[in-house]
Structure 1
């Protein structure tokens, strides 16, 4: 005969550990997502209303536990990853290759303004020396006579011009090092000035009027192209391939025109050459001003002045050939 059951007595260990068949099976361990509401035992209230849902990273709010009746325990608080700071490698002026850099460089307008002023100051001094030499050769007869009687100086100046130009155009470290870059640019300017004056005296009609007309046209074209290149939305810096093809085609056309002795072909060649160096002037101006696909590094003031100087001088020689009536 069994003992009477006391309804108020707690159940025995065996009775307490026997799982009720109606009770749901044990739920999987918490894996970073808030358990669905139906996973709670019957009769258990849902997540307390009015409380914020756990953070997106899945960590249950520290210090809080799941509802006691659910049987779940709060997972340990997960450590938050430290904030990551991203650093872009490279210089502040962008990656420079051959004097060119992407348009993101020179964001500081003050640095850009000083860079432009420095380039145009150097260019002004170069043009003053060159056109002063041309006028000197034209207006002083003793100097003109000496220049025409000394062809050796012409070829020596041509050799110096070619060597220094290659060094300045190809050796980036050299043209960015002071004072070597200034010395080389001075030698280059003097040699090209002598060449320009000698060519003008040798191959073209004399007279101050011809020189002044060519100077006026060159100055007007230079100022007009510069202002147009600054305000236009068209990006000439993306036309490098076209300028290369144009230059190579014009070179072949000029080589053919030498053997034809045709004044018409010579005139057409001169006009095409003037157009080419006008485009080069717009191209180099936008490289200097910036804000386009490509622009010059602030360290390339010698390179910028060199490009603009060559464009203007060659444009002057071509215009002088057209105004002066061709070779004698």
Structure 2
């Protein structure tokens, strides 16, 4: 009976050898090879989902793991790193997607990082990024989840169709990544949204005690504010990577920007200037209420915020009025991030992939290390507000030197030395702005806090990129 039901497989035919039936009308390629390719993809996908389920189960079931992530400085730093890691790994994964066995190794690391993110989401969040930034009611969350599930269901259909017809046989890793992310996002949209609310604080957050000695405010509220800011920064980094990658991977756009025509020169200048139009520096004395907007010169590196016993907020001109007005501030923040993404993409067009990857890796390591150090130091009573005047003076010096370099181009050695100095300065800004995030920013200044850290990271990346030889 079984032989009649499954005659081919009962005879011991290898599943990887496929079958004679065509997958779609007019199929020209060998159906055997395409079937073998499809089975290979779904085997990889099954292993990815099994690994994700195992890692997520450990994170959820072992309470000490989730408690570590939300109650300590080291845990928060690792949590931020694990959020950003999948997007960092996507770059080398795309470059080496057809090079075995490097592609499978990167795929394993990518799956592990996603698995930790899924586990943390199941362990102590009650929603995804949009519901954290825009708190919604239960009905709104259900509608959002339904729309999200519908969209990713469409992606599953689309990527499955690509799997059947379009992916080449050496693109098995990229095909598996596409379907894997579709499934993970679909599960994320459909899962139950009950549980501990990160933004509301909770026992886990309170378990870490105060962030610094003599802390007067609620640690729960400050931890929630910190997580919100880092979520915004992570989104900004992802958008920047996407825009910069599009500029470098879409050949017509890249060729246009690299062309020495008048149009490409104007476009390049516009891309560099657009994010800085209307930039202002508002110095607000903490000892009295006097405030004065002062125009600020900016270069490729010099776009950050600083305090020097005063508060300096660097934002677009409209954000001067709407930085604390929701949701206009998010719309302006998105436009600002896209503009910066174009500028970063333009800076990367003349650099090789290896140099960009090395600079990105160094930036992630430096940011993660300095963030952990600042939380550790704040916990032990150290204060970094004294860095303000020195960083501000260094920023002015970098700005003046950048203008001189534009007018009187200097050699490669000078450029690299300038890049090293800039990297040190913006590493100091990361410590300084992280200290402000822990102690000084008010809860409605999440956009300004996110901009400060985002620009520190971007400027550090560009500085490191200028020091690396292709």
Scaled to the shorter chain, the TM-score interval is 0.5 to 0.7
Distance 1:154 1:216 in 2: 26
Report the CA distance shift for 1:173/1:257 in structure 2 as closer, same or farther (over 3 A). closer
Q: Deviations over 1:161-194 (max 9, x none)?
A: 1136448367555200011101110110001100
Residue in 1 aligned with 2:426? 277
**What is the TM-score when the length of structure 1 is the normalising length?**
0.60
Distance 1:161 1:289 in 2: 27
Segments of 5+ residues of structure 2 without an aligned counterpart are 1-212, 281-313
The secondary structure found in structure 1 opposite 2:315 is helix
Distance 1:105 1:153 in 2: 49
Q: Deviations over 1:275-298 (max 9, x none)?
A: 0000001111111122xxxx1111
Distance 1:195 1:143 in 2: 13
* Aligned pairs for 1:1-328 within 5 A: 107-149=217-259, 150-163=264-277, 165-166=279-280, 168=315, 173-201=321-349, 204-205=350-351, 207-232=352-377, 233-257=381-405, 259=408, 261-290=410-439, 295-324=440-469
Q: How many residues align?
A: 216
Distance 2:453 2:251 in 1: 31
Distance 1:284 1:239 in 2: 10
Distance 1:263 1:168 in 2: 32
Q: Deviations over 1:22-55 (max 9, x none)?
A: xxxxxxxxxxxxxxxxxxxxxxxxxxxxxxxxxx
Higher relative contact order by CA 8 Å / sep ≥ 6: 1 or 2? Answer: 1
**What is the TM-score when the length of structure 2 is the normalising length?**
0.43
Distance 1:145 1:240 in 2: 42
Q: Which has the higher helix share?
A: 2
Report the CA distance shift for 1:223/1:175 in structure 2 as closer, same or farther (over 3 A). same
Please report how far the alpha carbon of residue 257 of structure 1 lies from its aligned counterpart in structure 2 after TM superposition.
4.9
Which stretch shifts more, 168-177 or 265-274? Answer: 168-177
Q: Decide whether the 8 Å contact of 1:257 with 1:265 is kept in 2.
A: no
Segments of 5+ residues of structure 1 without an aligned counterpart are 1-102
Please report how far the alpha carbon of residue 158 of structure 1 lies from its aligned counterpart in structure 2 after TM superposition.
3.5
Aligned CA-pair RMSD: 2.5
